[in-house]
Amino acid sequence: MTKSIRAKITALGTYVPPRVLTNADLEKMVDTTNEWIMERVGIRERHLVDKGVAASDLAVEAVKNLLASHPFDLQQVDLIVVGTVTPDMMYPSTACLVQHKLGIVNTWGFDVSAGCSGFLFALNTGVKFVESGQYKKVLVIGSDVNSSMTDFTDRAVCIIFGDGAGAVLLEPAEDGEDGVIDHVAQIEGMGGQYLYMPGGGSLNPASHETVEQKMHYIHQDGRNVFKYAVKKMAEMTERILEKNKLTGKDVDCFIAHQANLRIITATADRLGMPMEKVIINIDRYGNTTAGTIPIAMRTAIEEGKLKKGDLVLLAAVGAGFTSGATLLRWAL
Ligand code: UT7
């Protein structure tokens, strides 16, 4: 009988650009207030790139920070999977650009487009390649420059998003180690109508008209996305816990996609999880799409809420609609 291989996260690196946009700044740009944003979404400030900085740049910085805490020879990387919906350009893939900028010579890689579930979908993909025995070092990156597609006159959108990236290294777990235990994931394409960026693709190639009609910006029906996210995040987390005969009480650390504080607290309530086990950093970073989960892993470590051996539940819901939950034993 062949022995089953499990994957574990062996290193983490994150990066947010230095420029900060506060709610006070937004009050000067659109008809909004700090009180409304804090109460309805839970964001105080977010980080934004300067002109000329792209998703691959944030990804590269995240990998450099990963290397600083866990030095190893990048030439050993077998696979790079990048979750992003704000690639530097339509093609080449962000994975190709990251590989080139990092000077990794012999590797494979590709992008995963799953909106706010981008990091989870990329992680689950990378895990399968480690579990198959084919690869021993997989870089999984979530990187998004949301400011590149944000209409800073649309108050329902521009208050939510920020820019940021995170990277983890996946390697085979030792015998008897849990590593990444399980995942559930789903797409429901009927949700495409509620959160999308219509311009610049093959349906609406970029033109004066697409720009005039603001088709190069995020189009969001916030209320419908919110309703779906609350329902689906609860459903996916309950599904993975039930599948593994666990309850919310067994989980040591809950790291959810940071889109709206109310979505996270509603899910934690449903799972009966006390807030000290729930990681919140949306106040500092906003919604960085594929960046949120690794950046929240960093916050969890900094706040002493994530330690070696902890059972961790990850969850995300995003554009598509996409959704997923992953269960893992923290190995750092
Ligand atoms: O991960 C996927 C990414 N997206 C999300 O997860 C977004 C999920 N949705 C949300 O987080 C919330 O729906 C929003 C934060 C986008 C909006 O909050 P809401 O409580 O659902 O507001 P709403 O869209 O129901 O609008 C309520 C009111 C409206 O005014 P009227 O029509 O009642 O007069 C909006 O125009 O709030 C108004 N509004 C604002 N007011 C002040 C919308 N944005 C703002 C704002 N400041 N920034």
Query: In this structure, which residue's CA is closest to atom 8 in ligand 1?
Result: 226
The tokens for 259 are 């889109």
What's the whole-number mean pLDDT along residues 108-113? 98
For 28, other C-beta atoms within 10 Å of its C-beta total 8
For residue 39, count other CB atoms closer than 10 A to its CB.
Answer: 11
Which ranges in the chain are annotated with CATH 3.40.47.10?
Answer: 7-172, 180-330
Confidence of residue 2 (pLDDT cuts 50, 70, 90): low
- Residue 45 pairs in a beta bridge with 22
Q: Which CATH superfamily is domain 180-330 in?
A: Thiolase/Chalcone synthase (3.40.47.10)
Q: Which of these, 316, 89, 75, lies nearest to 201 by C-alpha position?
A: 89
How many angstroms separate the alpha carbon of residue 171 from the centre of ligand 1? 41
Q: What is the pLDDT of residue 80?
A: 98
Residue 329 — very low, low, confident or very high, per pLDDT cuts 50/70/90? very high
Question: Residue 226 C-alpha to ligand 1 middle, in angstroms?
Answer: 9
Of the chain, the end-to-end C-alpha distance in Å amounts to 30
Measured CA to CA, the distance from residue 22 to residue 15 in angstroms comes to 18
CATH assignment of 7-172, among 3.40.50.300, 3.40.50.2300, 3.40.47.10, 3.30.1360.20 = 3.40.47.10
pLDDT category at 150 given cuts 50, 70, 90 is: very high
Q: Which sign does the torsion angle of CA 185, 188, 189, 193 carry?
A: negative
Q: Which two tokens stand for residue 17?
A: 């650009």
pTM: 0.97
Q: What is the pLDDT of residues 258-273, one digit of tens each?
A: 999 999 999 999 999 9
Average of per-residue pLDDT values in the chain = 97
Q: Indicate which atom in ligand 1 lies nearest the CA of residue 30.
A: 48
Question: 176-234 pLDDT, tens per residue?
Answer: 999 999 999 999 999 999 999 999 999 999 999 999 999 999 999 999 999 999 999 99
Q: How much is the pLDDT for 63?
A: 98
Give the dihedral sign, CA 28/31/36/41: negative
Q: Is the predicted pLDDT of residue 3 greater than 80, yes or no?
A: no
**Residue 64 tokens, joined:** 């450099």
Is 287 considered catalytic here? yes
For tokens 């919310």, the residue is: 248
The pLDDT value given to residue 251: 97
Mutate to test the pocket of ligand 1, among 27, 38, 40, 261 (most ligand atoms within 8 A of CB): 40
Distance (Å) from CA 154 to ligand 1 centroid:
11
156 lines ligand 1 (CB under 6 A): yes
Centre of ligand 1 to C-alpha 30, Å, is 13
Is the shortest distance between the CB of 70 and ligand 1 below 6 Å? no
Read off the pLDDT of each residue in 239-264 and give the average, rounded to a whole number.
Answer: 97
- Annotated catalytic residue 257: yes
Do residues 315 and 324 lie in contact, with contact meaning Cβ atoms separated by under 8 Å? yes
Q: What is the pLDDT of residue 1?
A: 54
For residue 228, the Cα-to-chain-centroid distance in whole angstroms is 18
Residue having the nearest C-alpha atom to atom 25 of ligand 1: 223
Per residue in 33-44, pLDDT tens? Answer: 999 999 999 999
Q: How far is CA 322 from CA 113, 117, 189, 200, 228, in A?
A: 10, 6, 8, 21, 10
Q: Does the annotation count 260 as an active-site position?
A: no
pLDDT over 80 at 8, yes or no: yes
